[in-house]
């Protein structure tokens, strides 16, 4: 494969409002995201031209509803196309995007919808925590009572111990992402937070506090992707996906080679960079998986935005702020935009699509041409990295 050759092109994208969407089922939320994608692309007749749907959805426990592919296809007005659910914990919709890329590259389909959805907020925090924990190892993690805040707290303490990363540096990630989220009308929590407030918030799993955690959120996201050769039929400004990587790791954190880095993310990034013919220095804007603030710091290092152990310094120097050298999580990230787990992967791609097509309004990054999305499943047993380029 030629380096930098478009694999597929994004011709439209949609995102529901993220937040507490009371009284709505996941299928209705997905329909909102699909409608935005259809409205944005008047040259496309969805019913006639979309040939398949891949949708990321983590858990049937939230709504006691499985069979998500067909359910959301119906509500998006896409009956009777093949509709397939992908599940890879919090990376479920990056997996849907990969499946869509494979489907188009195979030559079987020209136009495909990929997306994701999760409805979480009607359940109590303890129920959600238990459902989420199913994406960790049952016999040696869940059974002993550890939950995701606890697992990421282990990574945080290991990172602090090994590299001297501080609680202040973790809180700076929250301050940055809440600032970006305050500029995003679709974000769950559109409010700034001060360093003092983040640092004095209650402990969830030491050293992680309330403001180190992502939000429990309802939401959906989708993209319409096509063969690159036909993209101009639908839009003057297609965004090409030029790199795609995905890898897995042991489900149990105790089996991993490191607590301060995610091997699956490093492998995915290497694959995506090589395919795209792009180096970390070539990225203009990135959405990374900040399910906890420590995860964003580790992502900087795994993606090569800085050396191992220097993620804390990168945030401290302000390099990943909206006006910094490499703006990260301009959408507000999982921290402030929210984390409806199944929807997160394609919601990250949606933000990159907005940035590269200059539709990001008050959070627009000037002259952004190449973007990256980094999505992690669970505590790192899945990771996927995609690289996007405008023409």
Ligand X SMILES: CC(C)(COP(=O)(O)OP(=O)(O)OC[C@H]1O[C@@H](n2cnc3c(N)ncnc32)[C@H](O)[C@@H]1OP(=O)(O)O)[C@@H](O)C(=O)NCCC(=O)NCCS
Residue numbers annotated as active site: 90, 339
Contacts of 267 (CB under 8 A, 6+ apart): 245, 247, 383
The Cα–Cα gap between 102 and 85 comes to 15
The residue within the footprint of ligand X, chosen from 3, 42, 47, 125 (CB under 6 A), is 125
Per-residue 3-state assignment (H helix, E strand, C coil) for 113-159: EEEEEECCCCCCHHHHHHHHHCCCCCCCCHHHCCCHHHHHHHHHHHH
Tokens representing residue 167 in the block: 């609680």
* Closer residue to ligand X in complex, CB, 41/88: 88
Does residue 21 interact with ligand X by CB under 6 A?
Answer: no
For residue 18, the minimal CB distance to ligand X (Å) is 13
Half-sphere exposure of 224 (CA within 13 A, CB side): 32
The residue within the footprint of ligand X, chosen from 204, 242, 298, 387 (CB under 6 A), is 204
Residue 145 region, left (φ>0) first, then alpha (ψ -120 to 50), else beta? left
Tokens representing residue 84 in the block: 């397939």
For residue 170, the minimal CB distance to ligand X (Å) is 13
User: Does residue 297 contact residue 283 with C-beta atoms inside 8 Å?
Assistant: no
Determine the angle formed by the axes of helices 125-133 and 148-163, rounding to 10 degrees.
70
How many CB atoms lie under 10 A from the CB of residue 359? 12
Does residue 215 interact with ligand X by CB under 6 A?
Answer: yes
Summary count for the chain: helices (H), strands (E): 13, 11
The residue within the footprint of ligand X, chosen from 84, 105, 210, 237 (CB under 6 A), is 210
Does residue 200 interact with ligand X by CB under 6 A?
Answer: no
Closest CA to 178 of 279, 25, 329, 295: 329
**Piece of 38-46, 207-215, 233-241, 248-256 that binds ligand X (CB under 6 A):** 207-215
Closest CA to 120 of 193, 39, 176, 188: 188
* Closer residue to ligand X in complex, CB, 27/339: 339
Does residue 291 interact with ligand X by CB under 6 A?
Answer: yes
For residue 158, the minimal CB distance to ligand X (Å) is 17
Does residue 129 interact with ligand X by CB under 6 A?
Answer: yes
Residue number closest to ligand X, CB atom: 125
The residue within the footprint of ligand X, chosen from 54, 109, 211, 300 (CB under 6 A), is 211
* Closer residue to ligand X in complex, CB, 132/275: 132
The Cα–Cα gap between 288 and 334 comes to 9
**Piece of 37-45, 162-170, 214-222, 250-258 that binds ligand X (CB under 6 A):** 214-222
Does residue 148 interact with ligand X by CB under 6 A?
Answer: yes
For residue 60, the minimal CB distance to ligand X (Å) is 17
The Cα–Cα gap between 213 and 199 comes to 12
The residue within the footprint of ligand X, chosen from 216, 285, 373, 385 (CB under 6 A), is 216
User: Does residue 22 contact residue 119 with C-beta atoms inside 8 Å?
Assistant: no
For residue 202, the minimal CB distance to ligand X (Å) is 8
For residue 206, the minimal CB distance to ligand X (Å) is 13
Segment 59 to 118, residues that bind ligand X, using CB under 6 A: 90
Going from the C-alpha of 184 to that of each of 17, 188, 351, 359, the distances in angstroms are: 10, 9, 10, 12
* Closer residue to ligand X in complex, CB, 107/185: 185
**Piece of 153-161, 209-217, 240-248, 317-325 that binds ligand X (CB under 6 A):** 209-217
* Closer residue to ligand X in complex, CB, 133/225: 133
Does residue 346 interact with ligand X by CB under 6 A?
Answer: no
Binding site for ligand X (CB under 6 A): 90, 125, 129, 132, 148-149, 204, 210-211, 213-216, 291, 339
């Amino acid at each position: 494969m030629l380096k930098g050759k478009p694999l597929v092109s994004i011709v439209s994208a949609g995102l529901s409002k993220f937040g507490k969407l009371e009284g709505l089922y996941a299928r209705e939320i997905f329909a909102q995201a699909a409608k935005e994608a259809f409205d944005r692309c008047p040259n496309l007749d969805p019913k006639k031209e979309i040939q398949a749907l891949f949708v990321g959805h983590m858990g049937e426990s939230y709504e006691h509803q499985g069979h998500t592919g067909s359910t959301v296809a119906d509500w998006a007005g896409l009956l009777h196309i093949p509709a397939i659910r992908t599940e890879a914990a919090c990376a479920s919709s990056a997996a849907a995007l990969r499946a869509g890329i494979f489907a188009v590259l195979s030559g079987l389909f020209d136009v495909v919808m990929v997306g994701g959805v999760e409805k979480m907020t009607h359940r109590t925090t303890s129920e959600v925590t238990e459902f989420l924990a199913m994406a960790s190892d049952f016999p040696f993690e869940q059974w002993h009572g550890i939950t995701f805040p606890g697992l990421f707290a282990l990574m945080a303490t290991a990172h602090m111990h090994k590299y001297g990363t501080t609680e202040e540096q973790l809180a700076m990630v929250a301050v940055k992402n809440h600032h970006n989220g305050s500029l995003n009308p679709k974000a769950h929590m559109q409010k700034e937070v001060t360093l003092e407030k983040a640092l004095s918030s209650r402990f969830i799993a030491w050293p992680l506090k309330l403001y180190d955690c992502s939000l429990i959120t309802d939401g959906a996201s989708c993209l319409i992707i096509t063969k690159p050769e036909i993209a101009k039929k639908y839009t003057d400004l297609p965004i090409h996906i030029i790199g795609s990587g995905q890898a897995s790791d042991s489900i149990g954190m105790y089996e991993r080679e490191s607590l301060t880095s995610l091997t699956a993310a490093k492998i995915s990034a290497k694959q995506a960079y090589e395919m795209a013919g792009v180096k970390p220095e070539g990225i203009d804007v990135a959405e990374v998986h900040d399910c906890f603030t420590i995860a964003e710091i580790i992502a900087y290092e795994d993606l090569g935005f800085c050396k191992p152990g220097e993620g804390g310094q990168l945030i401290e120097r302000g390099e990943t702020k909206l006006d910094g050298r490499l703006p990260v999580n301009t959408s507000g990230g999982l921290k402030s935009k929210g984390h409806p787990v199944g929807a997160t992967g394609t919601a990250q791609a949606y933000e990159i699509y907005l940035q590269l097509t200059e539709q990001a309004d008050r959070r627009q990054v000037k002259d952004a041409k190449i973007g990256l999305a980094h999505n992690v499943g669970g505590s790192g047993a899945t990771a996927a990295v995609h690289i996007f380029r405008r023409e």
